[in-house]
Homo-oligomer: A and B are copies of this chain.
Amino acid sequence: MDSTRSLRLRELTRYPVVTSTHRIHALPVYIQIAEELRQNVESGIYRVGDQLPTEAQLSDRFNVNRHTLRRAIAMLRDEGLLRVDRGRGTFVAAKPIRYPIGKRVRFNEALKAHGKEGGYRLLRASEVPVEGAVARNLNLPVGASAVVIERIGLADGQPIDVTNGYFPSDRFPDLVERAQNMKSLSKLLREEYDCDHIRRSTCVSARTVKPNDARILGVPLNSPILLVESINCDRDGTVVEYGVTRFRGDSMELLFTNS
């Protein structure tokens, strides 16, 4: 049998009709199938969360052995397009939220670009004495006072990240009280404290989630997270926030562009 034949598609009406205008001949069949399925997802035939036909059905539709089809599925699973649940089926994976990192901190805007409703849930707002990395990055002596604001970032109600933001107490008087009912932190800083809140540096590494964060984010233990340390400044360059954010690794991408 010819192992590099092109696809012979048995086009069943029950399944999305496949375009046959751009037939590919030289590529392995499993890659051709992956491309077909990718197109099906990108063109909206299968939408996020949808269950794909079973492996048996798909291998029938593409007229290939189940192994061949599984290899195509595996490719798309590896690149994050599909999610395969043993015993349940194959589903279109939720696209990771792409968060562009620029000078401004625009979390809600990034979510809206994905058609999601952003939001925060305040866990804690209190004054603490600074130490370690917090003291160092805020340029405060150890033991000085800072306001820590711990909050969960939500996308359509689902937890996406946990952030501990540290603000120098003397720059932001009464921040603890004012943070209680805020809707947007950027807005609060801008309107109440005349602070522009510009991102100076962002340091990214990968870790495994800690038990407490796993509980908050609703992910299993040993899940990967993006650990992001950000230093945000005022217009005059003084540091106004040292933030430590733990993003869910599976549903978040940080995009840095050189415009």
Chain A contacts with B in 37-66, Cβ cutoff 8 A: 38
A248 to B19, CA, bound (A): 41
Give the nearest-CB partner of A205 in chain B: B253
Query: Is B35 a contact partner of A252 (Cβ separation < 8 A)?
Result: no
A133 / chain B contacts, CB cutoff of 8 Å = 79
What 0/1 pattern do residues 219 to 259 of A give for CB contact below 8 A with B?
00011111000000000000000000001011011111110
Chain A contacts with B in 96-132, Cβ cutoff 8 A: 96, 98, 101-103, 129, 131-132
The 3 A-B pairs at the shortest CB distance, nearest first, are namely A206-B249, A206-B224, A224-B224
Q: Given A35-B132, A79-B133, A249-B205 in contact, is the A101-B224 Cβ separation under 8 Å?
A: no
Give the nearest-CB partner of A222 in chain B: B222
Query: Is A131 a contact partner of B34 (Cβ separation < 8 A)?
Result: yes
Q: A71: shortest Cβ distance to chain B, in Å? A: 13
- A195 at the B interface (CB under 8 A): no
A79 / chain B contacts, CB cutoff of 8 Å = 132-133
Give the nearest-CB partner of A75 in chain B: B132
A12 / chain B contacts, CB cutoff of 8 Å = none
Q: Given A24-B143, A26-B143, A224-B206 in contact, is the A34-B132 Cβ separation under 8 Å?
A: yes
Chain A contacts with B in 202-216, Cβ cutoff 8 A: 202-208, 210
A203 / chain B contacts, CB cutoff of 8 Å = 98, 253-256
Give the nearest-CB partner of A101 in chain B: B256
A129 / chain B contacts, CB cutoff of 8 Å = 26-27, 31
